[in-house]
Structure 1
Amino acid sequence: MSPSTAVDERIARARELSGEPSSLPWQSFAEFYRARVYDPDLIKRTFLTYYDDERQVRRSYTYGEFNALVQRVAAFLHDRLGLVRGDRLATILSNHDITVMVYFAAWTLGLAVVPINAEEAPEKKRYILEHSEASAVLCWEGSFEELKQLQGELPALRHVVALEDATEHGSFTIAEHAGLDGASRHVQSLPPHLLDEALIVYTSGTTGPPKGVVLTAENLLIDADAIGQWHRFGPQDRLMCVLPIHHVNGIVVTLVTPFYCKGTAVLNRKFKTGLFWKRLHEEQVTCVSVVPTLLEFLLEANEDLTPYHLHPFGGFICGAGPLLKDTAARFEDRFGFPIRHGYGLSETTCYSCFLPNDLTPEEHRRWLTAYEFPSIGVPLRHNLMTILDQSGAALPELARGEICIKGGTVCVGYFKRPDANEAAFKWGWFRSGDEGYFVKDEQGRPFFFISGRLKELIIRGGVNISPLEIDEVLKGHPGVKFAMAVPFEHRFYGEEIAAYVVPAEGQSGLTPKMLEEFCRPRLPFWKRPKVILFGQEVPYTSTGKPKRLELKAKLASELARYRDLRFKDVA
């Protein structure tokens, strides 16, 4: 397929899903980017402030300074690595100022960034690098040898480059490299387009390997436009990022959106409860994006806010995981800041809907707590949302069905997965896999609710986890006949992970501790079961499919006693 044909197909698919031509005034991300960094009113205004508390680092960049470094990174990617428009650049980095510069440099060149969580297992990193056909990967020094060994097995991966983590202000330093020959590739390239691939984000699936969600430059800018317009963000706003920027929430809400709105991003290496309110005070933050887990951590810390000047702070954007009504009410009552609850997926770039900001305090509380679930709000502009039944027919108010979305933020599909695309984009809508319904207010606006998940993903602290991965690890123990991971409602993470295990014959001495030790080297802590229950029944359907949702419901009452416990990774 020629590059022009590929672009034409992406444009046609995106227009089919959005139903309208692009409303953006730029032809490419590079054109949009130049409109910001060369704006005389912005050159000396701060765009990015970065904190690494463990190293006691604070670095700040004006739009002009940020651009100078982005240009250096772009020159390295193009001139030294030979990356050209349409190539894919994988990153195994962390929340860091250099990571932000790499993203923006890649997008100005028309490259697609493939962000990978550094904590993922080696086999998953290998799968993503191979499946995405990444031409290069950037990592920290500690990951270099691991990735260098993988390079020989991945023919598309031409470069492995390690960056120095302790980069000083104004520098971009290469620690180590593999296959760095300094030769540019002479590849004919079409002019940049908004439909260039910008992100390929791999999400856990309920069946099979992870799927790569393809987001275009237009997707990123359309969602930033919608989020900025909804919350009325502008040059005076300072958005703080405490979420990982290998996920769309951290990337779109607190990096791309403030840049789009000519504001400031305050990036934290990690979320730290003890520094959170102090940082809002010191940086005069106006909004921060969180997941429900972080609200629980802040409630538990119960810090006295009287020493801080927080008048600029307008509240929390919150989504990416189940928000409990109790959490929302207790948090707002304790701290007095509104929770701007919303909903979206990687496949819809990030947010698709939010609670309106024009609600009175009484109305706001009603939509959060008066129904069975907190409302996720009303669709943003550029989006349409509906509830469809199993045949694709629209359902009326209060009827439960599948939440479906179309519009300018919907991805163009899954990378190299026509089977997944056929299922996900049936009926001309993106099918979320979430069950929900809507209720209209006095103005006729549809307020949506999530009532459950049709898919079986576990969402722990806003991170999607495939239960099959946990099943397979547990089943690898010689004393296990059957194992199934299920989520249970949890105060701090929205959902935590439990496992139901049927011991193999003659293995009556198998204990939870033995399985916990077995999982330790095979799964990161956040993916490990925190509760292990034993039984004798193997819950399969007559066609051989595991009855995970039925098992989840059956175990719910027994697992309820673990709802408020904090689980720690104890060696």
Structure 2
Amino acid sequence: MMTEQRCRPAVTEFAARRDVDEYSPPWADFGDFFRSRKDDDSTFLIAVSRGQRTRAEWSVDQWRNAVYNVTSDLIRHGVKAGDNVAVLAHNSAETLALTFAVWLLGGCLVPLDPRDEDDRHKEILEESGARWVGVDAGPESVAQVMRSGCAEPLVVRGLMSTQRRERPSTGTDPAPLDAPALRMHTSGTSGRPKAIVLSMRSILLNCDAMQKAFGWDSKTRVLTVLPISHANGLLINSFLPWFVGGSTVLADRFSGSTFWSIAAETHATTSSIVPTVLEYLLATESSETPSPIMKEVISGSGPLRATAASEFEQRFGIRVRQLYGLSETTAVLTATPPLTGSHLEPNLRRSIGVTVPHAEVDVVDSNGASCDEGVRGEIVARGGMLMNSYDNNDSANAEAFRGGWFHTGDRGYWERGADGNRWFFLEGRLKESIVRGGLNIAPQLIDEVVTSHPLVRSAAAVPFANRWQGEEIAVFVIAAGDLTEAELLTWCAERLQPHMCPKVVIFGSEIPSTSVGKIRRNLLTQQLAGELARFWESSFRP
């Protein structure tokens, strides 16, 4: 039986969420913002599908009409302001149009990762109360939703009619900008999913910050190869171009062999990617040459090797800038500013940049006091771009929003640059999370599966540096009998999602722990670093 759950009102009591400057988005609601773009004949979207060998293009006026069409369909299905609408679909114009339509209605979008299992989707759908799920065309996509038993599938393919329509009437007052607009789910370091609720105001405020930090304008065309089920692909690559008056190229998937040809054919000027994509572009043997129009790429969502950035710039003649942010901060907190010289200073190559407008970022010690230059601590932030809250999770909110700051859980420090700004550096996470290919993985979930093997006495999953994924997964095991690495990896492959499976097993006799038996995972990671260093270049392909 389907139960309706409306988006909860925006949470404003956290001091860290207060604006830090005078800026406030000038629109009354999303519809007001959506209609404010007037360059109707300019190109907004180019959708490229290598799988289907198709390419389609929409002007600003055509895109607005397409969104109105999808909005009318949603109204016919009963969607209204305040409703949660999930989407389980890959990169396509229809998926993006559904996103805009949900926001135009004043609803809250709930992206689902197509790579996740049915149980994960069902858990998120039940928690969010979403009654509808936008899905790709095809019986399997519909069947995935039907198996959840709690939502109605809406096939996005075909929603974008060419019929000319005016702005649809919703029959209700527009939702204010402070209403929840985006509900992102993360497993966190405890393995329990946490719902991150963002308002449209936070999204628009952060878009203004990114526009100023990136220098994007009407001439900017962004090549989108990241999944739009994640914040980077959706908010930076796909939504920010509408905000700045530019355009986006939406690729159905990333391919190192076609990245440059798509960029050249569509005249893309930039792309926001993750370090994994940059590494694959460096390693791909291709006769293609970079598009002369593309001037830079922006890397985020994971640690970037300084040497990889330098090699990329030297090989392709395209600058690499870094950004840093979390889903909890909408998108971006810091970014490498536009470069005035030919190359970034070597000592700043590893930096995640300087604070973007409308935000404050600091590094604090365990007592919450600001750290001096070069002193390691926890990166914290405040400003109107922060999430409303972790929904229905008072303990997580109390931990994250303490002391008037949002605590990221990341360890770092800052140095003063020649420009007088604080340049921030990210060293790792205070929390025990493994970031593989930009995805956060709770090591405790892997521990549980490994220790469920009858010949495993105890185990601990740890990350290790890997060129292709940023971090890969190893597991340290104390065995209770004869057990091989191959046997244990097979055991994990049968019980874990592919991106969570360990790639290396190390057997030993003792796992460092505290006096109360808690694994000292950071210490174990350090102890194994030398042995695991030999897997730096390994791609671990089947």
Tell me, in whole angstroms, the C-alpha distance in 1 between the residues paired with 2:75 and 2:230: 25
Task: Tell me the distance in 2 between the aligned counterparts of 1:170 and 1:190.
Answer: 26
In 2: Cα distance, 1:243 partner to 1:4 partner: 29
Contact 2:279 2:468 in 1 (8 A): yes
Task: Specify the alignment match of 2:58 in structure 1.
Answer: 61
TM-score (norm 1): 0.88
- 2:252 pairs, out of 269, 283, 287, with 269
Aligned partner (choices 140, 146, 149) of residue 147 of structure 2: 149
1:459 is the counterpart of 2:435: yes
State which of 84, 89, 92 in structure 2 corresponds to 1:88.
84
Partner of 1:566: 539
Give 5+ residue unaligned stretches, structure 2: 164-169
Shift in Å, 1:191: 4.1
Task: Report matched runs for 1:14-29 at 5 Å.
Answer: 16-19=17-20, 23-29=24-30
For residues 441 and 206 of structure 1, the distance between their equivalents in structure 2, rounded to whole angstroms, comes to 33
Task: Give the structure 2 partner of residue 330 of structure 1.
Answer: 311
**Match for 1:114: what amino acid?**
V
| SS of residue paired to 2:463 | strand
Is the CA contact 2:186–2:194 (under 8 Å) kept in the aligned structure 1?
yes
Q: Name the SS of the counterpart of 1:351 in structure 2.
A: coil
Query: Structure 2: which amino acid aligns with 1:341?
Result: Q
CA distance in 2, matches of 1:22, 1:436: 28
> Partners of 1:189 and 1:542 in 2: how far apart?
59
Q: Deviations over 1:120-152 (max 9, x none)?
A: 12222122111122222222331322432321x
Deviates more, 1:323-332 or 1:138-147: 138-147
Whether the aligned pair in 1 keeps the contact of 2:46 and 2:248 (CA below 8 Å) is yes
Total equivalences in the alignment: 530
Is the deviation greater in 17-26 or in 445-454?
17-26
Question: What SS is found at the alignment partner of 2:177?
Answer: coil
Superposed displacement of residue 469, structure 1: 2.1
1:217 and 2:217 aligned: no
Q: Write the deviation string for residues 433-478 of structure 1: whole angstroms up to 9, x where unpaired.
A: 1111111123320000012210111111222122222222222322
Do the aligned partners of residues 144 and 477 (structure 1) sit closer, same or farther apart at CA in structure 2, a change above 3 Å counting? Answer: farther
Q: Distance in 1 between matches of 2:8 and 2:108?
A: 14
Residues 267-346 of structure 1 mapped to structure 2, 5 A cutoff: 267-304=250-287, 306=289, 310-346=291-327
User: What is the rounded CA distance, in whole Å, between the counterparts of 2:82 and 2:243 in structure 1?
Assistant: 23
Q: Which residue of the other structure, out of 520, 528, 532, is the alignment partner of 2:501?
A: 528
Please say if 1:198 is aligned against 2:181: yes
Task: List aligned pairs for 1:430-509, cutoff 5 A.
Answer: 430-503=406-479, 505=480, 507-508=481-482
Q: 1:546 to 1:367 in 2, by over 3 A?
A: same
The one-letter code of the counterpart of 1:323 is L
Q: CA deviation at 1:388?
A: 0.8
The farther-off stretch of 473-482 and 316-325 is: 473-482
8 Å contact from structure 1 (residues 4, 190) kept in 2 = no
For the structure 1 residues 524 and 442, does the alpha-carbon distance in structure 2 shift closer, same or farther, using more than 3 Å as the test? same
SS of 2:74's partner is helix
- 1:171 and 1:53 map into 2 onto residues whose CA distance is 23
Residue number among 484, 487, 492 corresponding to 1:511 in the alignment? 484
Show the counterpart of 1:31. Answer: 32
**What residue in structure 1 maps to residue 166 of structure 2?**
none
For structure 1, which runs of at least 5 residues remain unmatched after alignment?
152-156, 173-185, 369-373
The answer to whether the 8 A contact 2:364-2:377 is kept is yes
The 8 Å contact of residues 17 and 385 in structure 2, kept in 1 or not, is answered as: no
Q: Does 1:102 align with 2:124?
A: no
Deviations 1:3-38 (A, max 9, x none): 99964x6355488433456521101112101112xx
Preserved CA contact (<8 Å) 2:16 2:381: no
Q: Secondary structure at the match of 2:102?
A: helix
- Which residue of 339, 348, 366 maps to 2:329? 348
CA distance in 2, matches of 1:259, 1:268: 17
Range moving further from structure 2, 123-132 or 554-563:
123-132
| Residue identity matched to 2:196 | V
In structure 1, what is the Cα distance between the partners aligned to 2:512 and 2:162? 57
| SS class of match (2:351) | coil
Q: Tell me the equivalent position of 2:167.
A: none
Partner of 1:10: 11
Change (3 A) 1:275 1:477: same
- Root mean square deviation of aligned Cα: 2.3
Q: TM-score, normalised by structure 2?
A: 0.93
Q: Is the 8 A contact 1:220 1:256 kept in 2?
A: no
Distance in 2 between the 1:542 and 1:252 partners?
A: 45
Partner of 1:160: 152
How far off is 1:539 after superposition? 3.5
How is 1:70-149 mapped onto 2 (pairs within 5 angstroms)? 70-80=67-77, 82-140=78-136, 141-149=139-147
* Aligned partner letter, 1:350: A
Is 1:247 the counterpart of 2:230 in the alignment?
yes
1:53-91 CA deviation, whole Å, 9 max, x = no partner?
0111211111222222211211222222x1221111111
> C-alpha separation between the residues in 2 aligned to 1:326 and 1:287?
21
Following the alignment from structure 1 to structure 2, what is the Cα–Cα distance between the partners of residues 286 and 130? 41
Go from structure 1 to structure 2 and tell me whether the alpha carbon gap of 1:168 and 1:73 turns closer, same or farther (over 3 Å shift).
closer
